[in-house]
Amino acid sequence: MAQNSKKLSKATAGIKRPGSDAFEQADASDSGLAQGSVLGVPQGSDSGLAQANVSTKWSWGLAGKRILVAVSAGVAAYKTCILVRDLMRAGANIKIVMTEAARAFVSAETFQALSGEPVFTDLWDDRIHNRMAHIELGRWAEAILIAPASADLMARLAHGICNDLISTLCLARPREQCLLLMAPAMNREMWSHPATQRNAARLQQDGVLMLGPDRGDQACGETGDGRMLEPEDLLQALEHALSPKLLAGRFCVITAGPTFEAIDPVRGITNRSSGKMGFAIAKAASQSGAIVQLIAGPVSLATPWQVQRRDVVSARDMKQAVDQAIDSLPKAAVEASIFISVAAVADWRPATLASQKIKKQQGESAPSLSFVENPDILASVAARRPRPFCVGFAAESEMLHEHGEAKRKTKNVPLLAANIGHETFGQDLNQLLLLDEQGANALPLATKEKLAQQLIEAIASRLA
Phi and psi at residue 391, to the nearest 5°: -120, 120
CA distance 226 to 190: 8
Going from the C-alpha of 125 to that of each of 60, 92, 121, 134, 261, the distances in angstroms are: 33, 24, 8, 9, 65
CB atoms within 10 A of CB 103: 18
CA distance 418 to 102: 52
Q: What is the rounded (10 degree) CA torsion for 229, 230, 235, 238? A: 0
CA distance 99 to 166: 7
How many residues comprise the chain? 464
Q: Is 81 annotated as catalytic?
A: no
Q: Residue 101 gets which letter from DSSP?
A: G
CB atoms within 10 A of CB 106: 21
Among 387, 278, 279, which residue's Cα sits nearest to residue 341?
278
- β-partners of residue 339 are 253, 390
Catalytic position from the list 81, 170, 178, 220: 220
Residue 346, SS3? coil
Residues known to be catalytic:
220
